[in-house]
Amino acid sequence: MTLSLLTSASSAKFLHEIRMIATDMDGALTKFRKFTPNLLQAFEEFRKAEISIGIGPDDRQAGCRRIVNYLPIDGAIAENGGL
């Protein structure tokens, strides 16, 4: 999977319609269980566009807190949706 930055005029036009992005993390956002610089930059672009970001990592509550504190995201879903 290759991430590309949303810098074109057409992307900017499209971004204002998005309010939130929610995604699985493991395998979808990580490459060999590591965050790439392109992913972090894409998250920053979403934040600038005022798009909320939520992830669902394969982790328990404590691990999710660390991830939320590390990444520029708004929250995570843990404990099979309980938190």
Q: What is the pLDDT of residue 37?
A: 86
What fold is seen in the domain 9-81? Rossmann fold (3.40.50)
Contacts of 57 (CB under 8 A, 6+ apart): 24, 25, 26, 63, 64, 67, 76, 78
The string of DSSP letters for 32-49 reads: TTB--HHHHHHHHHHHHT
Tens digits of pLDDT across the chain (83 residues): 455 555 555 566 677 788 888 887 766 667 777 788 888 888 888 888 889 998 887 666 666 777 788 888 888 877 766 55
Q: Domains of the chain: which residue ranges?
A: 9-81
Q: Say if pTM beats, i.e. exceeds, 0.85.
A: no
Nearest to 64 by CA among 38, 32, 26, 14: 26
Alpha carbon 31 to chain centroid distance? 14
Contact status, residue 65 vs residue 59, Cβ threshold 8 Å: no
